[in-house]
A and B are shown apart, each in its own frame.
Chain A
Amino acid sequence: MNLSTTGVWFLVLGLALTTAFIKAAGPVLVGGRAMPRQFMRVVSFAAAPLLTALVVTSVLADGRRIGVGADTVGVLVGTVLLVCRVPLVVSAAAAVVVTAVLRAVA
């Protein structure tokens, strides 16, 4: 890392301010206005693609490269368990163990 201790504090401050600003922007700019029906329809479908994109990029993307690793298998196991209605905490623990074991033997 090339940042000094003061530099890191600037980064911390910058991260806190930009995140707070982004989270405030939607509610403040749109206000409490009722939005058109079509808008609400699109909004109600926004979570699925956002979450899918978060999952596939965190599992398959390493910078700008696409590839699979031990974590891909671990997440797959966790996903199968979640689909089988295994509680999140247990499924997550299984994903961690599978990933760690695969890395240990690789």
Chain B
Amino acid sequence: MSAADRESFRRGVRLGLPFGAVGFMISVSYGVLATEAGFTSWQAIAVGGLVFAGSAQFASLSIVAGGGGIPAALAAATLMNSRFLAMGIALAPSLPGGPVRRAAQGQAIVDSSWALASRGDGTFDRWQLFGTTFPQYFLWLAGTVAGAYAGDLVGDPERLGLDALFPVFFVAILLAELKRPGARLVALTGGLIALALVPWTPAGIPILVASTAALLGLAVPETGPEPEVTA
């Protein structure tokens, strides 16, 4: 790890802390809702620590809490997670090492770290990505533990408005993305595709298909490197 790598990692940690703080509260909601649905505290915590993917966690939980089975819950989670496949393909050329090391590095992909580590030319700063994920992982786990054991204190996450956290978290990442030329048109198109598909497809599919709007990027005139992203 070179000095530049360490600097990238530290910058990533700084960028990740605010997202980690909001993620903490989102995972508190998960811990509360999962134990309310009938998970033991350890099971809720195991999901937070082993899955660490909010949209997939909430999608699968809402299915089993509503009486659905394991296959349906796993299918919903996989659809929500399918965007990580696209992100992993994008990240791949920026990662070194053989299959095992590459697979391990891929585990660090979360939305915020992936989006912020993008240099705007298709390459990624992998140490910044690891740094951004690092505090978010531990805060996510800590929040899940808190929610799993303190559900009675928290009460109903929805009554408290905690469900508003999840979209705001993504808006914050998105606003950094929209600074580059052409990104607004691509984002708007993706949003419209997703909304158009909501009534017709299972949750997750609209998000995956919306990513095809990125093809519009081919029509955007190339400019210099994107402006520095600050969060």
Contact = CB atoms under 8 A, between A and B. Distances in A.
Given A11-B74, A24-B103, A50-B190, A45 B216 contact: yes
Contact of B74 (A15, A38, A41, A104): A15
B73 interface: yes
A82 B110 CA distance: 21
A37 B117 CA distance: 19
Interface string B24-49: 01000000000001111001001100
Contacts of A24: 88, 102-104, 106-107
Nearest to B174: A51
Contacts of B111: 50-51, 54
B150 interface: no
Nearest to A90: B18
B186 A48 contact: yes
Contact of B121 (A7, A23, A28, A40): A40
B132 interface: no
A99 B164 contact: yes
B18 A66 contact: no
A89 B22 contact: yes
Most chain A CB within 10 A, of B65, B217, B231, is at B217
A83 B178 CA distance: 11
A105 interface: no
A33 B93 contact: yes
Contacts of B182: 45
B218 A38 contact: yes
B18 A45 contact: no
B140 to A, nearest CB: 13
A34 to B, nearest CB: 6
B60 A45 contact: no
Contact of A15 (B77, B187, B203): B77
Q: Which 6 A-B pairs have the closest CB atoms?
A: A26-B88, A49-B190, A40-B122, A45-B217, A99-B161, A100-B161
Interface of B: 18-19, 21-22, 25, 37-40, 43, 46-47, 50-53, 55-57, 60, 64-65, 67-70, 73-74, 77-78, 81-93, 95-97, 99, 102-107, 109, 111, 114-115, 118, 120-123, 158-175, 177-178, 182-184, 186-191, 193-195, 198-200, 203, 206-207, 210-218, 220, 222, 231
Given A26-B89, A61-B203, 18 more contacts: A11-B60, A22-B85, A24-B102, A27-B95, A35-B93, A41-B222, A43-B122, A44-B121, A48-B186, A49-B210, A53-B210, A58-B167, A71-B161, A79-B171, A89-B22, A96-B162, A99-B161, A103-B161
